[in-house]
Amino acid sequence: MTSLIHTYLTNPRKPDFVLQPNSCDAHCHIFGPSNKFPYLQERSWTPVDAGKEELFSLHDFLGIQRCVIVQTALHGFDNSVLVDAMQMRKGRYLGVALASAKTTSEKIAEMDHQGFRAIRFNFMAHLKNNDSIEDILALTNRMEPFGWHLQVHFSSDLVHYLTPLLRQSSVPVVVDHIGRVDASLGVNHPDFQGLLKLLDDPLFYVKVSGVDRISKNHPYDDGVSLAKMLVDEFTDRCVWGTDWPHPNHHHIPDDGNLVDLIPRIATTTEKVNKLMVINPEKLYRFT
């Protein structure tokens, strides 16, 4: 665990696409710095620190004014690294926590005041989840009075198993990274079709982040095609994110390139406005 892994470019290119005011990066992370916010001992890898200063600098460079930071498994249920960052840009930076499905209403109220708007649960082989789906659904009953939502990260094949269960949620459900489908398999693959079926239910939102994950190489044409289809069909329930600093990836994408994908995904000014400003403003309760 002594070898540090780089997960982001320190010199991304300046994007050609100019973002609208109040555009939101609705999915990114913070790693450390580990001397102030230690990583879990039981981790399988250690990143080069990517703290709030690096994130703020990236967003200022890209023209991003709002942000939703998602707690990383490297910090576990200690969400203090996010609280610290949210306080620095209060009102413009909000958070998605990692927490137990046993989290109480009192704790949710405290976290809501801090700027959290959701709890994320992972259903991925490399990310441990010890909560049952029954306990997660029970948690949504306690989340509902606060206007929170449930964020889920699952491997694409699990969409078929999880769909009838997640439809029992008392709060909206946000699906990460285009359902982690394999874009090379195309629009007719059962997993992407399962995602479309899930999104037919107005309870569900999807993050058209991770185009660079579901595709093999830039310019990510096959991933862009799927993301565009989602934005075209579910314009009011899509949000976008960089996923900086790109953990557990098959390459390190250039964040400038990711911004320049936006007009290929959302092909009208109205769709860009909904994807980048209106939808995250509503979902995360920006003021």
The backbone region for 203, taken as left when phi is positive above 0, alpha when psi lies in -120 to 50, beta otherwise, is alpha
H-assigned helices in 101-176: 105-114, 133-143, 159-166
How many CB atoms neighbour CB 190 within 10 A?
Answer: 14
**Distance of alpha carbon 80 from alpha carbon 166, whole angstroms:** 28
Residues with active-site annotation: 243
- For residue 253, the one-letter residue type is P
Exposure of 139 in the CB half-sphere (CA atoms within 13 A): 26
d(CA 117, CA 67): 12
Contact criterion met (CB below 8 Å) for 212 and 220: yes
Are 22 and 277 within 8 A, CB to CB? yes
Q: Report d(CA 169, CA 16) in Å as an integer.
A: 40
53 vs 57: CA distance, rounded Å: 6
Q: Strand (E) positions, the chain? A: 4-5, 24-28, 46-47, 66-70, 93-97, 116-123, 149-154, 173-175, 204-207, 238-239
Looking up tokens 């491997």 gives 155
Three-state DSSP class for 28? strand
